[in-house]
Amino acid sequence: MPPETSGQMVACWARIRARLRDEVGEVEYRTWLRQMTLQGIDGDEAVILLPTRFLRDWVNSHYGDRLRALWQAEDANVRRVEIRVAQAATAEPVMADGAGMASSRPEPSGLAESLAPAPRPPAEPRTSDPRSDWVVPLEARFTFDTFVVGKPNEFAHACARRVAERPASPGFNPLFLYGGVGLGKTHLMHAIAWAIREGETARTVAYMSAEKFMYRFIAALRSQSTMEFKETLRAVDVLMIDDLQFLIGKDNTQEEFFHTFNALVDQGKQIVVSSDKPPSDLAGIEDRLRTRLGCGMVADLHATTYELRLSILQAKAAAAQVLVPPKVMELLATKITSNVRELEGALNRLVAHANLFGRPITVDSAHEVLHDVLRAHEKRVSIEEIQRKVAEHYNLRLTDMVSARRARNVARPRQVAMYLAKQLTQRSLPEIGRRFGNRDHTTVMHAVSRVSELIAQDASFAEDVALLRKMLET
Ligand code: ADP
Ligand code: MG
């Protein structure tokens, strides 16, 4: 779907900037690109604003093509990107969505930046509406609609839905979400916030990272405005604190959070907290706070499964409207197992690359583009491990792998082990030869080609080798 509605446009724009930021790096991004705002889409042209002519020219000449390619990846209807100097009078962003109230944001989405019309001077005093500093913009694409549910996250997802539908229900307050990085904690929190904001009852939702909470609190202490700090926070209907583990060891901030927490819960307000560990493992958090954190609903996001990774890839490819062959998705889902963020990053890179060069995504291009990522995720297998597994599998002794015996029942498995050593390790042929009882590299070469031939000819042999390979790789 082309981004007709402003919500979609905001989401596309956020993704484009996130990608650009990944590509060019933080420093360059901040220097040149951070002040870009999207004015809108005019026919087949995306109009981007920058505050000065210098910046406009620079961005145009250095990033113009890239911006166009990234837009095209998001929306094929956009064929051109026009960069203009923002007039002071047109500084109002076209699609502020009620979330664009905050002045800055620690996390990499950068939505705040795009929605903030003009850069503010860095040391600006507090604005007249203290709340504007509090409400951190939500990432447009972190909604329930875009969250893919599978075994590892279904419980956390159900709890989040429940809280979004009926905030502050008994048993669900606080909602404590925990799990490793990149598994969807922030996504779920934003989804709750979006759903509550869109709900019929008007409710104020404050979402911020624990770091931001601490930073605000310390700033309030310094400027002697802690009363204001307390009042502002205690006036919200839903308070969400992301990455609570950052409060570990920060005693004063914890104390303040504890009081806010109690005040809100007493008033029947909802609290949602995320962390990388369950409450019981949060060493360095005061006991009484830990106890309170654990007394609502504690839900964990487990590591992803192959099935969930595949569903996520399918959903993301469909949303981005790109054709990703099933084999490529299988490759990514098999290799990139660490977390969803990396999986998403890999897919984005493939799409960007395909767009840039106008070539379809294939297994080969995936290997080429994601060379580094795939390698980093490759499990390191040692030759010794290969020898052991192969010997076990064929009922031989480990010494048979290095012995001079040439009987077929020993020689063939040895060849299989050499073949696997070549496939699964970075070792050179002479090195592999040496590790197999000081054999010559031509022996290894011969083994590799012999096993390849047999794999092509003999299905049951092929299955055997595939099985061994799988055992070694996982
Ligand atoms: P965390 O806060 O746990 O570190 P995030 O919520 O930031 O992780 O998720 C990292 C990325 O992965 C985000 O872009 C998010 O949209 C995506 N993601 C995580 N889980 C899912 C899911 N189940 N479905 C779709 N996207 C997901
Ligand atoms: Mg997070």
Instruction: State the span(s) of the chain assigned CATH 3.40.50.300.
Output: 154-301
Contact between 169 and 161 under an 8 Å Cβ cutoff? The reply is no
The CATH number that domain 319-376 falls under is: 1.10.8
Residue owning the nearest CA to atom 1 of ligand 1: 182
Residue owning the nearest CA to atom 23 of ligand 1: 148
pLDDT of 234 over the 60 cut: yes
Least confident of 153-162, 303-312, 424-433: 424-433
Q: H/E/C letters for each residue in the chain?
A: CCCCCHHHHHHHHHHHHHHHHHHHCHHHHHHHHCCCEEEEEECCEEEEEECCHHHHHHHHHHHHHHHHHHHHHHCCCCCEEEEEECCHHHCCCCCCCCCCCCCCCCCCCCHHHHHCCCCCCCCCCCCCCHHHHCCCCCCCCCCCCCCCCCHHHHHHHHHHHHHHHCCCCCCCCCEEEEECCCCCHHHHHHHHHHHHHHCCCCCCEEEEEHHHHHHHHHHHHHCCCHHHHHHHHHCCCEEEEECHHHHCCCHHHHHHHHHHHHHHHHCCCEEEEEECCCHHHCCCCCHHHHHHHCCCEEEEECCCCHHHHHHHHHHHHHHHCCCCCHHHHHHHHHHCCCCHHHHHHHHHHHHHHHHHHCCCCCHHHHHHHCHHHHHHHCCCCCHHHHHHHHHHHCCCCHHHHCCCCCCHHHHHHHHHHHHHHHHHCCCCHHHHHHHCCCCCHHHHHHHHHHHHHHHHHCHHHHHHHHHHHHHHHC
- CATH of the structural domain 383-473, one choice from 3.10.20.740, 1.10.1750.10, 1.20.120.1080, 3.30.420.10: 1.10.1750.10
Ligand 1 binding pocket includes 168 (Cβ within 6 Å): no
Contact between 70 and 20 under an 8 Å Cβ cutoff? The reply is yes
pLDDT in tens, 427-467: 899 999 999 999 999 999 999 999 999 999 999 999 999 88
pLDDT of 27 over the 80 cut: no
Q: Which residues contact 376 (CB under 8 A, 6 or more apart)?
A: none
pLDDT in tens, 193-215: 999 988 888 888 999 999 889 98
Residue owning the nearest CA to atom 25 of ligand 1: 147
CA of 186 to the centre of ligand 2 (A): 4
Ligand 1 binding pocket includes 185 (Cβ within 6 Å): yes
pLDDT for the residue numbered 164? 96
**Average pLDDT of the chain, as a whole number:** 84
Burial class (CB in 10 A: 0-12, 13-18, 19+), 204: middle
CA of 184 to the centre of ligand 2 (A): 7
Ligand 1 binding pocket includes 340 (Cβ within 6 Å): yes
Nearest one of 299, 297, 289 to 179, comparing CA atoms: 299
CA of 451 to the centre of ligand 1 (A): 42
CA of 184 to the centre of ligand 1 (A): 3
Q: Which residues contact 89 (CB under 8 A, 6 or more apart)?
A: none
Architecture of domain 3-115: 2-Layer Sandwich (3.30)
What is the number of other CB atoms lying within 10 angstroms of the CB of residue 192?
30
pLDDT for the residue numbered 444? 96
Ligand whose nearest atom lies closest to the CA of 312: 1
pLDDT for the residue numbered 134? 56
Ligand 1 binding pocket includes 341 (Cβ within 6 Å): yes
Q: Tell which one of 339, 340, 342 to mutate to probe ligand 1, the residue whose CB is within 8 A of the most ligand atoms.
A: 340
Instruction: State the span(s) of the chain assigned CATH 3.30.300.180.
Output: 3-115
pLDDT greater at residue 306 or residue 378? 306
Q: pLDDT class for 345, splitting at 50, 70, 90?
A: very high
Using a cut of 0.75, tell me whether the model's pTM lies above it.
no
Contact between 79 and 94 under an 8 Å Cβ cutoff? The reply is no
pLDDT of 157 over the 90 cut: yes
37-42 sheet: strands from edge to edge: 37-42, 45-50, 80-85
Contact between 377 and 335 under an 8 Å Cβ cutoff? The reply is yes
Ligand 1 binding pocket includes 285 (Cβ within 6 Å): no
- Over pLDDT 70: what percentage of the chain? 87
Q: Which residues pair with 41 in a beta bridge?
A: 46
- Give the position, in ligand 1's atom list, of the atom nearest the Cα of 243: 2
CA of 66 to the centre of ligand 2 (A): 28
- Give the position, in ligand 1's atom list, of the atom nearest the Cα of 179: 3
Write the class of the CATH domain 154-301: alpha beta
Residue owning the nearest CA to atom 21 of ligand 1: 184
CA of 182 to the centre of ligand 2 (A): 7
Ligand 1 binding pocket includes 153 (Cβ within 6 Å): yes
pLDDT of 232 over the 50 cut: yes
pLDDT for the residue numbered 124? 33
Write the CA distances from 336 to 23, 345, 439, 466, integer angstroms.
19, 10, 35, 20
Q: Tell which one of 341, 343, 349 to mutate to probe ligand 1, the residue whose CB is within 8 A of the most ligand atoms.
A: 341
Rounded mean pLDDT of 334-361? 90
Least confident of 33-47, 59-73, 97-111, 207-221: 97-111
Nearest one of 291, 213, 204, 280 to 246, comparing CA atoms: 213
Residue located via tokens 């490793």: 180
pLDDT of 184 over the 70 cut: yes
Q: Tell which one of 177, 183, 187, 211 to mutate to probe ligand 1, the residue whose CB is within 8 A of the most ligand atoms.
A: 187
